[in-house]
Amino acid sequence: MDLMCFEIINSSWHITHEPFFDPLQDKRWVADFLKKWGLENHGPVESSHLDRLAALRSFLTAAAQELLSGAVLSEKHISEMNRYLALDPYYHVLQFEADRYALHKEPTTTGWHVVEGRIVHSFAQLIDRFDLKRIKLCENPECRWIFYDASKNASRCWCGNTCASLIKVRRFRSRQKENRV
Ligand SMILES: [Zn+2]
């Protein structure tokens, strides 16, 4: 499950892995991110926005770690989340598209605050609608990305196929080594 909030949280992976950069300090990365999630119409990305985005990532990372430890979100994190959610007031618009009706959300204002509200909304929606036990950290020690396990029996340990095959190959090799001794 591709989630806006996970993309922001997992962006910190690049800080400690080659070629070492912080995506949230890279205006092009941020512009691509906004485009991907349909948030490109909230003005040009400014340096102050990048700092605010980094602060938002720290907040979401701390909240996610709290959930991963099995705890309930602290009062502090819940009120911080509500502060962010209030930044994105919206109304609904009904449209007829091709052969069906569709209800769209439109923000009542535009600006960077909407971007922040939407990212946090993606996290709040996840914990409201989905199974918290399925929010996991990838077991590949070089990855440790946060992901949502949507598999049938909730047994997935890896964020994606790349990590899954990497670990399988590694386990196979270590078993081969053991067999040789
Ligand atoms: Zn992974």
Q: How remote is the CA of residue 79 from the centroid of ligand 1, in Å?
A: 31
Q: Which residue has the higher pLDDT, 59 or 174?
A: 59
pLDDT for 121: 96
Is the distance from CB of 147 to CB of 159 less than 8 angstroms? yes
Q: Which residue has the higher pLDDT, 2 or 169?
A: 2
Please, what are the domains in the chain? Answer: 4-129 (1.10.3300.10)
Give long-range contacts, CB 8 A cutoff, 24+ apart: 68-72: 68/135, 68/136, 68/137, 68/146
Q: How remote is the CA of residue 16 from the centroid of ligand 1, in Å?
A: 14
b or e along 15-46 (b: 16 or more beta carbons within 10 Å of the residue's beta carbon)? Answer: eeeeeeeebbebeebbeebbeebebeebeebe
Per-residue pLDDT reduced to its tens digit, 16-25? 999 999 999 9
Write down the pTM of the prediction. 0.89
Q: How remote is the CA of residue 21 from the centroid of ligand 1, in Å?
A: 18
Collect residues with CB below 5 Å from ion ligand 1.
138, 140, 143, 145, 159, 163
